[in-house]
Amino acid sequence: MKERERWYQNSFAFTALLLWIKTYLVYKLSFNLPTMNWKQELILIINPLSSVLFTLALIYFFPKRFHNRTTWIIALIFSIVLYANTLYYRFFNDFITVPVLFQTNNVGDIGNSLIAQTYWYDIFFFLDIILIFYFVKKGFLKPSSYTKRSLVKLLAVASIFLTVNLTLAESERPQLLTRTFDRELLVKNLGTYNFHIYDLLLQSKTTAQKALADNVDVVEVRNYTDQKKVPANEELFGIAEGKNVILISMESTQQFVIGREVGGKEITPFLNDFIQESYYFENFYHQTGQGKTSDSEFLLDNSLYPLPRGAVFQTHPLNEYYATPEIIEDHDYHSAVFHGNNKSFWNRDIMYNTMGYDEFISEEYYSINENNQINYGLKDKPFFEQSMAYLKEMPQPFYARFITLTNHHPYKYHDEDQAIPTFQTNDPIVDQYPVTVNYTDQAIKQFIDQLKKENLYEDSIIIIYGDHYGISERHDKAMAQVLGVDEISPFDNVQLQRVPLIIHIPGMDGETISRVSGQIDLKPTILNLLGIEDQGIHFGTDLFSDEHEDIAVFRDRSVVTDRYVWTSDMCYERESGKEVSVESCQEAKDQLKELDLSDSLIYGDLLRFSNFAIE
């Protein structure tokens, strides 16, 4: 009985037990970490222990009078890390990485989304902290007795748990630590806390790459991209020479809303009509990572892949790039970005300067009040209306990119802006989605009408595209209802990553094109339409070329080709969705080399060694 009392009264043991139990419960209730057998479940159970024990061992390096206080502080830090990952996972279906932590200046701007992911029962994340504090105050918990021998024993036990964890994990998933792209898999096998330690090591490694890089490293990348290049479509090359380029980025707009109705009303009536007089790519995929909208911007202007961790705009804004605005400047183009949010969000003010934009029309240029803003800034209709005053005064030809905002998670809207019914799934995020998509559709229609009124329409090619997904996998149950299927499979999730791409060229008839493509292909396509022969490095190919290869490589290392879809270590036929042998997707998997080459280019800042780099 005496020994039992000592155990309960040991603040170290009590805290370790609570953190262990809490972490396991969060794994099961807050994260999607399914287990297929007893071994995977055992890994999930034991993986928090080593990091909890190793970290709590730090208390022995403090005087005994500080043990309880230090134990409580460590427990609080662990709880904050766990809760921060939960909030991030609810929003992005992903885990926090070190580069994401550099994006803290974005936190204030995504407040609505964070609030939408916060629930009353989240207090239970910190219930153990409250208990520890209460029991320490009441004298129930006693400081841990310190001896060198007890410290050695503790470290030995922690090491044993870590070794068993890694051994089991490696047996379940060979070469686990090379799969840095699959954060869910890493957390599932290493644990949340060990994952963050591993992520720190990865960050150190990537930071060193730039210092160690030299001009030889860029040769392999350039050889690869030179081999990928395809001849332009002879009929369309230069067809837009000297014309303005207007690009509209539709926030969080997925392809499944195109042509779909809710309550008998079209979600995108204008886009449905505009497609009939434009080139429409129905198998066009977003390829963004943790950088979301900023990643889509990076893909568009550079034809390089975003990074596997964090956002290029935040982590490498001062690299040398060879972006579209820099290239077309030599052809007398004036370039600008319009966005009704603050200029520092996603570090845009710095990155746009790096990429050679002449102007950034941000929040400070607009008249914004409580009536014309929602979520993250100016609503789309007043955004386009106010932008026109700047656009019509710009030197022509111009390259102007507009970033919409209203259709952003959690898809809030003012009652007067609702023109169509909501979905009826009992999932508020999914249900509200068509209303805000429809509002953006109306705003774009008004903008196109304004372009016609200002005599800019006929002198411009207009490119409208979705920047990234809007509904994450956390809402698969509701999405299954919307799509009329029993469940959303991994194959279905890949298909939901399709986003609209509409290219309107004055004087050209409309056509729906079914070839597989992605955001990486936009830069070479635009340059060829403008008649600009570019010799830079880019991983995409002209969408209109007869030799364009049907392929879309995702940042999570899924791949779509003309015949197959590779995702979640499974292979599917693209047309039927039927699962086939893994060997069928070998050619698709070979394309993943592109991601590694692109990453090396960015981490090493290799474009500074290229002879086409802009001085």
Whole-Å CA distances, 520 to 150, 295, 590: 56, 11, 17
Coil, helix or strand at residue 178: helix
Could you give the CA distance from residue 515 to residue 500 in angstroms, rounded to a whole number?
13
User: In the structure encoding, which two tokens stand for residue 24, read together?
Assistant: 């396991």
Could you give the CA distance from residue 557 to residue 219 in angstroms, rounded to a whole number?
24
Whole-Å CA distances, 504 to 280, 465, 526: 9, 11, 12
Q: For 498, which DSSP code?
A: B
Query: 150: Cβ–Cβ under 8 A, 6 or more apart, which residues?
Result: 60, 144
Q: Are strands 334-339 and 398-403 parallel, antiparallel or unpaired?
A: parallel
Closest alpha carbon to 463 in 506, 514, 408 = 506
Coil, helix or strand at residue 237: coil
Q: Are strands 334-339 and 265-266 parallel, antiparallel or unpaired?
A: unpaired
Q: Are strands 501-504 and 279-281 parallel, antiparallel or unpaired?
A: antiparallel
Given the residues 293, 324, 404, 541, select the one marked as catalytic. 293
Coil, helix or strand at residue 45: helix
* DSSP H helical ranges for 93-116: 98-101, 111-116
216 phi/psi in degrees, rounded to 5: -70, -30
Q: How many CB atoms lie within 10 A of CB 564?
A: 19
Q: Is the preceding omega at residue 269 within 30 degrees of 0, hence cis?
A: no
Active site (annotated) includes residue 293: yes
Coil, helix or strand at residue 31: coil
* Residue ranges of E strands in 226-330: 244-250, 261-262, 265-266, 279-281, 284-285
Angle between helix 38-56 and helix 11-29 axes, rounded to 10 deg = 140
DSSP string, 467-503: -S-SS-GGGHHHHHHHHT-S---HHHHHHTTB--EEE
Enumerate the active-site residues.
293
